[in-house]
Amino acid sequence: MAYFPRIGPFYDPQNEQQLYGGQDGRLRSKGAEAKLVNGLSHGVDQTTSSHSRHFDGSWTNIVQDGGNLFYSEPSSRSESAYHSRQASYQSMTSHHSRQASYQSTGSHQSSSSDSPRQQFHRQSSQNSNYSNNSHRSSSSHRSSHGVSPIVDSYSHGVRQSPRETGTRQADQGYAYAARNSLDHGGAVVASNKPVVKPASGNSVTSNNSYGQSGKRKSVIMVPNTANVSDISRSHGVELCEKLFGIKLCHHKHKPPRPNGVNVDHSLRDRKIIVQGVVENTDADHCGNINRGDMLVGLNDLDLTWVNMDDMLRQAASMPQVKLTFQSPVVIGPKSSTPPPVPPHIPLHHRCTPPPRPPPPGSWSETRLDLVATTTGESRPVVMDSIGHYLVAVMYLTMAGQSENSKVDVVYQFPHEDNKLVELRGLCLTLAGMLPDVTSNTAKMTCVQYRGRNNNIVYWKGEQDVWLLALPEESVPAFYVHNIFSDLIQVVQVLYGSVQRAFHDRELHSKLDDLVTLTLYRVLQPGVHTQTVPYCSPLEPVLVDCLSGIRWLRLAADDKISCDEILNEFEAQDFCDIEGIDQDERRKYGVLGSCLFYQEYVLCSHLCPADLKDVHLYLKYHHILALVARQPVDDLVLWEEVYPTHLCHARGPDIPGYREPRARWFLLVVSMRHFLLCTLLEAGSYAAPVKGQAPMFQFLTDQSRDTLAQLDLDDTDIELQCSERLFSVQSGPCLVSINSEKQAYLSGNVSQTTATPSPRKVSEDADRVSISTSIHTPNVAPDRLSVHTPNGAPLIHRQGSRISFGSNDSSGSMHSLNKIQVKTPLKTASESESVNRSFSRENGRINCDIKLTRGLHNQLLHYMTYDSFEGVLVSPSPHDLSAVQASPTHKHVLYNFYASSLRIRETFANRLSKTRNTDARSEGQCGALMEEGVMFTCQLGPGADTKRPPTVGRYWVIGRHMPEGHEMYVCLEDGSPQSLLELAFSCWFGLT
Amino acid sequence: MAAYVFCLTTSGGVPIFARNRSGLKSLPFPVIGSLNGVHMFANSHDVQLVSTVTDDSKIVWKSFYDSVTLIAVAEDDHADDCHMMNFIGYVLSIMVLLLGREDVKAIKNVERFKKDVRVCFPMIDRLIERCDLLTFGDTVNAVDTIASSENTVLQSFLDAFADCAASPYGCLMVHGKVAVATRKWWSLTSEELVLLSMLVSSLTQCSSRDIPVFLPNLSPEVPHRLMTFQLTRNVEVCVLCGPSPGLTELEEEVGRFWRASYDLLRSILLVHPTNFSISSTLDTSLLGFVLVNTETNRCLCSIFPHGNDDDPLEEHERRHILRSYYKHVVGNFFSSKVEGSGKGPSEFTHVAMDTYLTTDTHKCYAMLSPPHQIYALYKPSIPTFAMRSITEKTLFALIKDKGVQL
């Protein structure tokens, strides 16, 4: 079983009373200590921080008055010019949040101490006061306490809004706070660049404080060498805990993997993350080191896992050590609509994004971030690259049409007019008229402009038409349909309906992003966006058209680990949950979550329809490509979604059960190449949310911690993933067309006399896999032109799937995983064939077959797709890029993808046709279909120029299984039929 | 197949004719007008409106000679656009064949042209209803032939009759399919061959006729006389002549030349639904085939290779499957005589030679063996791997046979 570090204990029953009130049942809170009073004399209230229990200070009372709770404090404290409510982030060591520096101070009130200042909100209270929150630029809190930890806070310009200095009407203040907090709904910002803004006090042009980067903070500490017995022998993590009282996420050094994956490399990139602080140590007292912070420096030197041991040992002998931490950035989403006042105020400020005034022009700023961040290029560059093509996305309305004006254009991209925009009247007319002619609405129009074809696809609403026009030479017609239907789904999932998305002008900038990224992705497949070069320009197109999700199949143990990590997260049974109010603990119900590594799904606890929604959302916002390209740590997305199967394509109600009326939210948190996507529900068993829902900060933090668990110790998932992706493995071994066919049998090839049934062969293949791989290590690899440097035939599987609904089905999981642990199909099964498939000469009977390793290899390329189980490509593009495939083979691959695309189109058309014609027999719409094409090519003249050039023949065969499973195989002509069947039944072994 | 064909003048959008498949309601003019309007609108923006697809239909537009615009609406069979363009080309060629290119190019009097164009309706209707035809010529762009062992003997009869008519162009048609033709007749272009066969079979049966025709490729402006004489039911002999001889003169000669061939004609009529008679037998799984020779512009099609069998697939289903399979393959993987069909295959860097498709009701196999192409339809019970060798055997059995002239 996997090892799961316990994160805690944070719940302290002894101190519960301190927090949850006295005998009178009233809530009590503790005032801040003088030691935390900073130079700017901001009073800091540790309102509900569990940390506050460590201080012995005066208790302030919460006064209950008419259903509202007020917070009063001693008059001595009210003398300070600012009454601030500390967001308690700094002191929340026990709460393992890794939130950015949300230090929001209360409004500076000059009123008397008994003014209502802090409201402790219950769900029912509506007419409440709420103290305004603002960001406070906190500079150098200096504490006079004990060993005097010095805190340098490098937080970026936090200023108070002018409104805060204005009228102190609590209701207004609340409304403002609420609005600001809502302004974070729905935007994506991810950045590593710190943007330092000048602190300008009460300036009018105040801006959000925490925006762009993780806050760096330094703490000067005195190493407590008394605890350490043997410095030279202690481990870094251990040392850190003993010297400073900082518990780090434990990471065990692993022995180097036999396959040579660079462990050091992964170590170097791994963050050192604070797991917690030991109570009553300097670190605890200073209150500035939080769970989730990254320890990045020691005495201004970079600290990594590699040098940690040495540096900490040195530090032990120093009188004073400066530790630098970085807290991760959380960027809240933004919303465009002015939100209605939510029904209740969150009790804990840190559960909501800090309010920030909406600065003018902030839209363009966020937009720029989305496009620039995900593509890695600036927006003009992206727009420029799209601008080379004649493309258009238009949303037109038939209402209020008039000549020579553009009132019919609701939305248009690109914003400059082009030829296609001029033609919009044509499309409107066709969309409106064709039902009269053909009783269907228009689907696609092909127009020719300057000798180039352009395909325009339609979506038609009652009064409106949405058009997407793409050049045919870059995007084949079939692909356009796919893109468009996906795009429609993304828009529906994000905005509820297409009409709403386009008619709401506020959403246009978000649509711009979506459209820009979509066009950027489809017009340049595999050019900039992929880390792995595709072996053929059409491969991404085909993979895209298959609309499957690519799974990365982990070994059973790792898979279980992932599942359990997600399970724990989904259960919302967090050990530090006592830190927050009961009503806030499970504010949302978790419908499920899924975990992506780069572009691949590792495990998913979402239902397939939801997973598809999430996948499309990530794909069309270029986020998958982003995490595939580079590690991303600071990405947090929060969107309200309208899941397809709940909102758009509701199935028939199951008797006795109805889907709840609720609202759904999607939370995406990234860590390195991982993405954790959680689908949340508000309204069924969770509290209903009205208006714009703020990001649930607590869950965000938990997501981060969940992701951090992946990176620990025994569950080193990332290493496993990269191993899966990039190391040499066996799958169906494939050859290049040029490989000279020469029949000689290697020593261990045993001829069997019977031709087994395909299914049986695949099972046999699995069973014999290990022994054969031992027997035939790199046998005579020189026949194969796909070589590893050491000559071993290179193959591997790239994506596959396992999806198990929940951990409850672990029994079946084991049984399913039984055959595929780490050795997926190392088959070298030989059998005698009845006859060669499609062979013109029938005479040859006794031919040996090998699906994989060996000499007489005839399987060239392989691809499988299942609507549920995802896509598998073998050999992976990475394999092919690692070796220099011959030009002929490149052509073969190109043709493979091109013809697979057309075969796929045939399947799709036939399926839709049968579905249309006999709707009554719905069950059997997916019949078994197979289509094959044989290509001939001239192989190189070879050494002997006198001989006529040999002609190579190869088949591309696609098969559609009734269950919606599709496979595409490329094999040499004359391959035995049983090889083909083996290839098609490979799928059984791979799942 | 094609459900509507509209013809309008390009300049003014005046409707010339509108034909639709029987059983469909004809469309009101405003709809036709707006269909034409979008095409004109695109033209005014320097953009060519090519085609539009709906869930089950396809619409194509094309202008010819800057004079007429043809719009065709058909059921969408997911084939390449080139097949619809081929269809539209045939509609135009029919007009040229019967009216002459001059008249079509420059319509002087629209009202008069509207009346003149009515002579084309039988042929256009036949083209629209072509899925009911037993011939495939218009789809594959090669003339249908009927192959029997009597063909060599009949050839001499025909040559003698053509000599008598002082014409090098002579042909004997059985059920609208060419049994034998003179060498010069075979030198006509594929389009002309198909059109002449279609013309003869679209007209009501009569003992003899004399029709002026403009050959769309060889002499689009000077008419020739096409004279046909019915020898027996469904068997006609055709000659293309200049001003002489007259119809009555030649009609008197018919009996003299052809009386001796009566038994041969009877026996060739028996070949009709099968379309071929060869010595060797074909595989029993074969349900139908289309064999095309792209050099000689001939094709041989059969949907009853074994006479009438009791396969579940109906006759019209077989025709439909073969037709749609041909359209699926050509323009997608193969190129052929159909104009524009090379565009799709040219996207591959290697040449596709064989292809097949299997479904739960039938299997199809297509093979290129230049200059021949064969598209075969099989029962679903045939093993997939056997289709290649069986198709190849069928191909060689057919083209090697003496009775089959392809």
pLDDT in tens, A202-239: 333 333 333 334 567 777 777 777 766 666 666 777 77
Give chain B as a 3 state SS string. CEEEEEEEECCCCCEEEEEECCCCCCCCHHHHHHHHHHHHHHHHCCEEEEEEEECCEEEEEEEECCCEEEEEEEECCCCCHHHHHHHHHHHHHHHHHHHCHHHHHCCCCHHHHHHHHHHHHHHHHHHHCHHHCCCCHHHHCCEEECECCCHHHHHHHHHHHHHHCCCCEEEEEECCEEEEECHHHHCCCHHHHHHHHHHHHHCCCCCEEEEEEEECCCEEEEEEEEEEEEEECCEEEEEEECCCCCHHHHHHHHHHHHHHHHHHHHHHHHCCCCCECCCCCCCCCEEEEEEEECCCCEEEEECCECECCCCCCCHHHHHHHHHHHHHHHECCCECCCCCCCCCCHHHCCCEEEEEEEECCCCEEEEEEECCEEEEEEECCCCCHHHHHHHHHHHHHHHHHCCCCCC
**Chain A within 8 Å of B70 (Cβ-Cβ)?**
no
Average pLDDT over residues A922-938: 70
Which of A426, A438, A937 has the CB atom closest to B57's CB atom?
A438
**Chain A within 8 Å of B57 (Cβ-Cβ)?**
yes
Contacts of A430 in chain B (CB under 8 A): 38, 52
| Closest CA–CA distance from residue A421 to any residue of chain B (Å) | 11
Would you call A840 and B387 a contact, using CB atoms and an 8 Å cutoff?
A: no
- Name residues 587-606 of chain A within 8 A of B (Cβ): none
Average pLDDT taken over every residue of chain A: 59
Which position has the higher pLDDT, A15 or A50?
A: A15
Confidence of residue A309 (pLDDT cuts 50, 70, 90): confident
Chain A residue with Cα closest to B386: A838
* 8 A C-beta contact, residue A58 and residue A31: yes
| Residue A540: predicted pLDDT | 65
Residue A11 has pLDDT above 90, yes or no: no
Contacts of A906 in chain B (CB under 8 A): 78, 328, 357
| Closest CA–CA distance from residue A899 to any residue of chain B (Å) | 8
Which of B52, B355, B385 has the CB atom closest to A933's CB atom?
B355
- For residue A75 the two structure tokens come to 């008059």
Contacts of B51 in chain A (CB under 8 A): 445-446
**Chain A within 8 Å of B45 (Cβ-Cβ)?**
yes
Confidence of residue B341 (pLDDT cuts 50, 70, 90): confident
* 8 A C-beta contact, residue A187 and residue A333: yes
The rounded radius of gyration (Å) of the Cα atoms in chain A is: 31
- Name residues 817-856 of chain A within 8 A of B (Cβ): 835-840, 842
- For residue A345 the two structure tokens come to 């105020």
Residue A872 has pLDDT above 50, yes or no: yes
Residue A619 has pLDDT above 50, yes or no: yes
| Residue A155: predicted pLDDT | 37
Among A479-488, A698-707, A866-875, the least confident range: A866-875
Residue A115 has pLDDT above 80, yes or no: no
Confidence of residue A267 (pLDDT cuts 50, 70, 90): low
Residue A763 has pLDDT above 50, yes or no: no
Would you call B352 and A899 a contact, using CB atoms and an 8 Å cutoff?
A: yes
Would you call B350 and A433 a contact, using CB atoms and an 8 Å cutoff?
A: no
How many degrees, rounded to 5, is the angle at CA A592 between CA A586 and CA A596?
Answer: 125
| Residue A191: predicted pLDDT | 38
| Residue B381: predicted pLDDT | 87
Strand-pairing partners, residue A470, are A455
Average pLDDT over residues A504-524: 82
| Closest CA–CA distance from residue A788 to any residue of chain B (Å) | 27
**Chain B within 8 Å of A390 (Cβ-Cβ)?**
no
- Name residues 451-480 of chain A within 8 A of B (Cβ): 453
Q: 3-class DSSP state for residue A511?
A: helix
Contacts of A438 in chain B (CB under 8 A): 54, 56-57, 59, 73
**Chain A within 8 Å of B43 (Cβ-Cβ)?**
no
Would you call B356 and A930 a contact, using CB atoms and an 8 Å cutoff?
A: yes
| Closest CA–CA distance from residue A580 to any residue of chain B (Å) | 55
- Name residues 81-110 of chain B within 8 A of A (Cβ): 81
* 8 A C-beta contact, residue A532 and residue A539: no
Average pLDDT over residues B265-270: 88
